[in-house]
Amino acid sequence: MRLKCTIAALNLAVALVRQTAGEIGSGQTPPSPDPQPIEVIELPLPSVAPTDDEGSCTPELNPHRTGCMGRESVLFSGNFLPDSKHVLAFLNFTGAPAFPDSASIYTGSQLIIVKIDGTTFPGSDPWKCITCGVPDENQRGSNEGWDYPEAFKDGKRVLVGSNIVDCGAADLASSECTPEKIHVYPIRLNNKADGPGPGGSTRELRIHPDDYCYFSWLEFNPSPSSGLPVTPRYDLLNVTRLHRPANPHVIVAEGSEIRINSDALIVGELHGFRKIRRLTSHPEYVDPVDISPDDIWSVVMVARGTDRQMWLSAMRDIPSLTDLVSVSAVASTWNNVDGDSFNQGLLTVMKLNTAGDGNLGSINHPEWNERADRKWSSDETRIAYSQELTLPPDCGGQNPLPYPNSTANGGRVVRLMLAHLTNRRPLHLEPVETHSEVITWGKQYQPGDLDPERSLLPAGVYTLLGKFSGFAAVEIISNDAESAIHTVAVGYKNFLTIESTPSEAVRKSQTTRSFTTVHVDWYSDLTSTGQSSGAKKTSLFGFHLDIDIMKNMFNANDTLTTTIDGHV
Ligand SMILES: *[C@@H]1O[C@H](CO)[C@@H](O)[C@H](O)[C@H]1NC(C)=O
Ligand SMILES: *[C@@H]1O[C@H](CO)[C@@H](O)[C@H](O)[C@H]1NC(C)=O
Ligand SMILES: *[C@@H]1O[C@H](CO)[C@@H](O)[C@H](O)[C@H]1NC(C)=O
Ligand SMILES: *[C@@H]1O[C@H](CO)[C@@H](O)[C@H](O)[C@H]1NC(C)=O
């Protein structure tokens, strides 16, 4: 069982990358695969209620009396049921009539499944609410937050937030699976050395500022004798932290020298398991990936080709030293809103979302932003994803731009999409073997263990030697509490790594204003010549940037200009 380990999925993407034998970045970039036809359609969702008022979801809006969603409802698309014919989604119902009307159950955040083939469930809806009307006694002790739905391979259970939705012996898509048969079981981590108490959820592991990934055995406990909640639940057993303290860091200090380990590996955001190999080297951001069931393809959200980040992206062959203070701000510049929505327009090997005439309802309209995790169907013929329309005040501030008015059903600002790779034959893969309980290279988690702190580069003045000649003088300054790096200043002198020579200086300081808000002061006067020539220059008074990594509202003063091979 894999656990998600980040606070917010920064996501969206839409390129297919094929894994081949060549090592990218080693001069053996593999050729692009032949283009494949891709047909993209929008999947049906519930009708839209005009307001959140009780009863605003009228029988005229939904004659089947199976609920309405809100115009600005959240929408998380999940993966497919194992039949590859249903997509999971999590959304908000609203406007339900009052109890005892049978439609009163269609309210609040719920898990639904949507048919992808144009057929309907009994009752004539193309979707079915799985969690609407589940009796309270079937969901005792369940955890808040039902996001990122992910179906089990048995078609009967779904991981949602830190809970398992379970229909017992019935398939979720079958008419035998009724609300009375559904249970929502909490997932519990025994996180205290003395055992009892409420324990933790996967969410608690996620929320730690030093995110780590964990691997765990998930076991149903029908009648717990200790620990809260004392209700049927899933326990996390044999927990491994995917971290090897002895592994080298990317940037390490040895005496007065700094060394860069470009092969250092740190598990960041876990998106499945495969051999670790770098796949892309373009400086613009790439995140997240879903690896295809046969391990050959990845569907990835990529900024490359949009030029959205080139003005502040890295220059080739310049060591990533000042990233120590700017990485979260830079990574956040590709998002639009609440940490999980991005402008589309991506490319790598095969673009997914290019069809259409650019009009507002079309597949390729640039104001329909990609949301988190797109997912492969288990037969590898389809990919599901969701999108969100740009909303005010994202187009406001000092630069007001017209914002689009949705042409979707009911003016809804979210949509569920399905890409069909029409010339692929459905894959039938052998079931995956059960993994052993622990991952031997990781660290066994014991109840009560605290996450190890990621070691900080100590404050000081260092030298980083060029691979062939020259050096960089590096100064690291800690914040007052000595809990984080505040400033990194680097001056280069004839620094020769490959065939590029940076010179002059760059200095960046970061002030963390809250857990998620950072302010970066950036002073750069950097040029490099050789195989790849470029410059990164801030204006006379530097460049100053504020960003909340959860909201991604970007505010900056003064200018920063990056020039690569003569292009600004
Ligand atoms: C969705 O519903 C939940 C309550 O079930 C509410 O807390 C949340 O604010 C709603 N979100 C939106 C976007 O309507
Ligand atoms: C996994 O956890 C169970 C229950 O705590 C324990 O009995 C078993 O020995 C553990 N397995 C391994 C490989 O550590
Ligand atoms: C969207 O609708 C609002 C209110 O009717 C209008 O002011 C605005 O100009 C419209 N935007 C576009 C791009 O048409
Ligand atoms: C930009 O300048 C204004 C006016 O001096 C100041 O209030 C604001 O905080 C500055 N923003 C940044 C990101 O430095």
Closest CA to 74 of 553, 552, 415, 550: 415
* 109 domain-assigned: no
* 548 domain-assigned: yes
Angstrom distance (rounded) from CA 457 to CA 461? 11
Contacts of residue 58, Cβ cutoff 8 Å, sequence gap at least 6? none
Instruction: Tell me the average confidence (pLDDT) per consecutive run of 10 residues in the chain, 568 residues long.
Output: 24 47 48 79 97 97 97 94 97 97 96 97 97 96 88 96 95 98 94 68 47 87 90 93 84 94 78 70 80 85 77 84 86 57 39 74 80 88 90 65 84 94 92 87 88 83 90 90 88 76 67 70 87 86 85 83 83
Using CA atoms, how far residue 560 sits from 311, 379, 448, in Å, is: 7, 46, 46
DSSP secondary-structure letter at 8? Answer: S
pTM value is: 0.86
Q: pLDDT by residue (tens digit) across 105-162?
A: 999 999 999 999 999 999 999 999 999 999 999 999 998 888 889 999 999 999 998 8
* 474 domain-assigned: yes
Going from the Cα of 557 to the center of ligand 4, the distance in angstroms, rounded, reads: 6
Going from the Cα of 542 to the center of ligand 4, the distance in angstroms, rounded, reads: 12
* 486 domain-assigned: yes
The per-residue pLDDT for 394 is: 62
Contacts of residue 517, Cβ cutoff 8 Å, sequence gap at least 6? 546, 547, 548, 549
Task: Decide the pairing of beta strands 350-351 and 15-18.
Answer: antiparallel
* 277 domain-assigned: no
* 546 domain-assigned: yes
The per-residue pLDDT for 380 is: 94
> Where in the sequence is the domain holding 552, given as residue range(s)?
460-564
Which of 365, 389, 405 should be mutated for ligand 3, with most atoms under 8 A from CB? 405
- Alpha helices, H only, 302-348: 323-332
Beta carbon of 131 within 6 Å of any ligand 1 atom: no
Q: How many CB atoms lie within 10 A of CB 430?
A: 5
The per-residue pLDDT for 560 is: 92
End-to-end CA distance of the chain: 46
Closest CA to 78 of 111, 52, 54: 111
- Closest residue to atom 3 of ligand 3, CA basis: 405
* 483 domain-assigned: yes
Beta carbon of 35 within 6 Å of any ligand 3 atom: no
Provide the edge-to-edge strand list for the sheet that holds 460-465. Answer: 251-254, 257-260, 460-465, 469-478, 485-496, 500-512, 517-530, 534-548, 554-564
Going from the Cα of 365 to the center of ligand 1, the distance in angstroms, rounded, reads: 27
**Furthest-apart CA atoms within the chain: distance in Å:** 79
What value, to the nearest 5°, has the Cα angle with vertex 481 and ends 479 and 483?
Answer: 75
Q: Are 425 and 41 in contact (CB under 8 A)?
A: no
State the total domains in the chain: 1
Angstrom distance (rounded) from CA 538 to CA 501? 19
* 471 domain-assigned: yes
The per-residue pLDDT for 22 is: 41
Q: Are 314 and 283 in contact (CB under 8 A)?
A: yes
The alpha carbon torsion through 210, 213, 218, 224 (nearest 10 deg) reads -10
Going from the Cα of 8 to the center of ligand 4, the distance in angstroms, rounded, reads: 27
Ligand 1 atom with the shortest distance to the CA of 109: 5
